[in-house]
Amino acid sequence: KNEVEQSPQNLTAQEGEFITINCSYSVGISALHWLQQHPGGGIVSLFMLSSGKKKHGRLIATINIQEKHSSLHITASHPRDSAVYICAVSPNFGNEKLTFGTGTRLTIIP
Amino acid sequence: DSGVTQTPKHLITATGQRVTLRCSPRSGDLSVYWYQQSLDQGLQFLIQYYNGEERAKGNILERFSAQQFPDLHSELNLSSLELGDSALYFCASSVDIRTEAFFGQGTRLTVV
């Protein structure tokens, strides 16, 4: 069993839909990251969080430390949101020794 | 543009060879991280440097080594290359280990 599990693996939705991607982890962590990888391969860090909730534009990330679970939500989804979303956790400090999930491939259809 | 520069963007080399991948972090960033992304293993943490010193090691093979220079740029050296080393290699940098990291565009290594 992987230390970081993401679901779903693939998600196709219509433009405008509310999107939820889930991440569960089995180890103790100090921080959880959500990353976005575009088809060209580049990776962008979306959120780093250790508790509660963070919001940036149409993106919202939440984490429940007790349940070892995090969700990434996208409101009013748009075709440009199509990408692979990757969850990663750090056992020590924010960016140290990240363990990655296998990613969720999101496709938004116009 | 994240401000993290990786060179080269693409590299094709033969088995048994040695290559060097270079990473220039964002101005002011002291931490540099190296990751490997392969089709079968996904993204894996390789090694991290902070202000010239090795800080943490992940799943880095003995054939691989890295260093961070006084000007804070970093190099990842891959030797005795095998077909399975074909992957995207990413570098990321951050001010310190607790702050947001920025990724370079990656170096795509193909071993033939």
Does the CB of A48 have a partner CB in chain B at under 8 Å? yes
pLDDT tens sequence across B19-53: 999 999 999 999 999 999 998 889 999 999 999 99
Q: What's the confidence (pLDDT) of residue B98?
A: 85
pLDDT band per the 50, 70, 90 thresholds, residue A1: low
Average pLDDT of the residues in B9-28: 97
- Tell me how far apart the alpha carbons of residues B33 and A46 are, in angstroms, rounded to a whole number: 17
Number of H helices, E strands in chain B: 0, 11
What is the number of other CB atoms lying within 10 angstroms of the CB of residue A3? 14
Percent of chain A as helix, strand, coil, to the nearest 5: 5, 55, 40
Q: What's the confidence (pLDDT) of residue A91?
A: 87
pLDDT tens sequence across B95-105: 988 888 999 99
Residue where the block lists tokens 């990757």? A86
pLDDT tens sequence across B71-91: 999 999 999 999 999 999 999
pLDDT tens sequence across A41-63: 899 999 999 999 999 999 999 99
User: In the structure encoding, which two tokens stand for residue A110, read together?
Assistant: 């116009």
Chain B residues closer than 8 Å to A97 by CB: 45, 48, 56, 58
Q: Do A97 and B56 touch (CB under 8 A)?
A: yes
Kind and range of the H or E run holding B31: strand B31-38
Partners of A19 in beta bridges: A74
